[in-house]
């Protein structure tokens, strides 16, 4: 193991992450995870050598800035919960939802006010604290995040919007963990927006656990735009029980190096997930994205769609894994991984993997890595557009497959603006 992938096991680091008045079960979980860190391997991201990244360069004596910058306050207007680092900038859940038993709060408040409920779901189903070194680090050092609980039979028409800023105005740690629980037959949408304030180089660890109980439906959308100096580890997991469904739509528009792990476990009969991811890599940025669906139960279905664009001398690797366990008869596993190259200096990979241990199933995959369609480019240029503008239009159309799935108009507009900015800046570096 490379030294750069080793955490400085300073006890002050563990102490600085502890929530006020946290229960014994959480303190015990932290200690168990802390004790496992050195013996666990780093997660594997095929064709991505990330071990020299400062993902574990954490501050043993982190600073906490209690002020909320104006840009956070302005953007928080459209969100139900907004946080910057460990500070809650806004919490706004209407009384009607509260009366129905919906719980929304930051992670520290959840630990203090709903400890038994959090204990039931935190690191118990969708992910376990000892899966690998980075997960164990996050379990030991959680210092922020959110908790959303929607009781059984509750339907929410408008999306629940979460805004979570990494505070890089000083040396601090961003170990952000969000738990979302969908009670039986509940239906709702969640939008998570992650970004950075400040210019200090701090790593970011973002983890999301979604537990979808019997018959529930969750539509989860995310837009990530962490800063250039931020090396990020992002882990989003779903656990789906009988007839549950999670639809994922994720836009990875970080400017810094990123590894991301998006998994769904179909443990209940008839469970279903759709996993859509779009990403843009520019300059010398490296991104490795693993998306896996595991069919444990019969008649379950998992579909993966990944699309990425590369500019400059960047790298982007999509690893899509469809896994059907013995006994999951009548299941479906499909995936499509496509990468569009807009620079001869860029490196892209699309690696579909099917691991099938059952006969009565439907499974397939498609993958492509290629240049922009010259016929499309010629057609647009023949209508008077410059080559640069024509390329941007084709690229936006290539990624636009997921734009309509973002439930919040303002965030859709932000995503379009980010795509445009990256394409313009990326073309300028050619």
pLDDT for position 65: 79
Highest mean pLDDT among 218-232, 362-376, 394-408, 416-430: 218-232
Residue 304 lies in a domain: yes
Query: Measured between alpha carbons, how far is residue 64 from residues 75, 109, 174, 178, 309 in Å?
Result: 21, 17, 11, 20, 36
Which residues are within 8 A (CB) of 147 and not within 5 positions of it... i.e. 6 or more apart? Answer: 103, 104, 105, 106, 107, 109, 110, 114, 118, 178, 179
pLDDT of residue 147: 98
Q: How far is CA 362 from the centre of its chain?
A: 27
Is residue 209 situated within a structural domain? yes
Specify if 248 maps to a domain: yes
Residue 279 located in a structural domain? yes
Q: What tens digit of pLDDT does each residue of 189-237 get?
A: 999 999 999 999 999 999 999 999 999 999 999 999 999 999 999 999 9
β-bridge mates for residue 302, sequence order: 273, 333
Give the model's confidence band at 375: pLDDT under 50 very low, under 70 low, under 90 confident, else very high.
Answer: confident
pLDDT at 329: 96
Q: Select from 169, 147, 195 the least CA-distant residue to 63.
A: 169
Confidence of residue 426 (pLDDT cuts 50, 70, 90): low
Domains held by the chain: number: 1
Predicted structure pTM score: 0.94
More confident residue, 252 or 60: 252
* Residue 410 resides in a domain: no
**For 19-42, what is each residue's pLDDT tens digit?**
988 999 999 999 999 999 999 999
The neighbour count for residue 85, using CB atoms within 10 Å, is 27
Q: What is the DSSP letter of 19?
A: P
- On the 0-12 / 13-18 / 19+ scale of CB atoms within 10 A, 227 is buried
Is residue 184 one of the residues assigned to a domain? yes
Q: What is the reported pLDDT for 2?
A: 39
What was the pLDDT predicted at 253? 94
The verdict on residue 179 lying in a domain is: yes
Which residue range is the domain that position 312 belongs to? 3-371
Looking at the chain, the whole-number percentage of residues with pLDDT higher than 70 is 97
413, part of any domain: no
Of 318, 419, 326, nearest in space to 366 by CA = 318
Three-class DSSP labels, 263-322: EEEECCCCCEEEEEEEEEECCCCEEEEEEEEEECCCCCEEEEEEEEEECCCCEEEEEEEE
């Amino acid at each position: 193991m490379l030294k750069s992938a080793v955490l400085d096991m300073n006890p002050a680091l563990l102490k600085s992450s502890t929530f006020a008045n946290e229960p014994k079960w959480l303190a015990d979980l932290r200690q168990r995870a802390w004790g496992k860190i050195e013996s666990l391997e780093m997660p594997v991201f095929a064709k991505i050598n990330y071990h020299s990244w400062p993902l574990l360069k954490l501050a043993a004596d982190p600073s906490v800035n209690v002020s909320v910058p104006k840009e956070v306050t302005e953007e928080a207007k459209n969100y139900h919960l907004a946080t910057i680092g460990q500070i809650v900038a806004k919490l706004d859940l209407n009384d009607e939802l509260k009366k129905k038993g919906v719980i929304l709060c930051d992670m520290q408040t959840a630990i203090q006010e709903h400890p038994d409920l959090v204990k039931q779901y935190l690191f118990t189903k969708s992910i376990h604290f000892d899966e690998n070194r980075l997960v164990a680090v996050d379990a030991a050092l959680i210092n922020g995040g959110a908790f959303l609980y929607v009781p059984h039979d509750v339907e929410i028409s408008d999306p629940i919007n979460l805004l979570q800023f990494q505070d890089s105005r000083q040396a601090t740690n961003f170990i952000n963990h969000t738990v979302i629980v969908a009670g039986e037959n509940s239906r709702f949408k969640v939008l998570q927006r992650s970004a950075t304030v400040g210019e200090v180089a701090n790593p970011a660890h973002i983890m999301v656990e979604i537990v979808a109980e019997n018959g529930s439906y969750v539509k989860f959308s995310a837009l990530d735009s962490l800063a250039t100096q931020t090396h990020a580890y992002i882990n989003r997991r779903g656990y789906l029980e009988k007839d549950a469904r999670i639809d994922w739509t994720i836009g990875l528009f970080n400017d810094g190096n990123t590894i991301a792990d998006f998994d769904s476990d179909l443990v209940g009969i008839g469970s279903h997930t759709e996993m859509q991811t779009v990403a843009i890599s520019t300059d010398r940025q490296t991104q490795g994205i693993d998306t896996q669906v595991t069919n444990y139960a019969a008649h379950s279905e998992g579909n993966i769609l990944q699309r990425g664009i590369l500019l400059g001398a960047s790298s982007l690797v999509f690893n899509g894994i469809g896994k059907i366990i013995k006994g999951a008869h009548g299941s479906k596993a499909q995936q499509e991984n496509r990468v569009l190259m807009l620079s001869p200096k860029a490196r892209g990979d699309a690696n579909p993997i099917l691991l099938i241990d059952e006969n009565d199933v439907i499974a397939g995959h498609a993958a492509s890595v290629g240049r922009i369609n010259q016929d499309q480019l010629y057609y647009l240029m023949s209508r008077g557009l410059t080559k640069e503008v024509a390329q941007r239009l084709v690229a936006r159309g290539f990624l636009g497959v997921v734009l309509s799935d973002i439930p919040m108009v303002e965030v859709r507009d932000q995503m379009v603006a980010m795509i445009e900015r990256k394409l313009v800046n990326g073309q300028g570096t050619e």
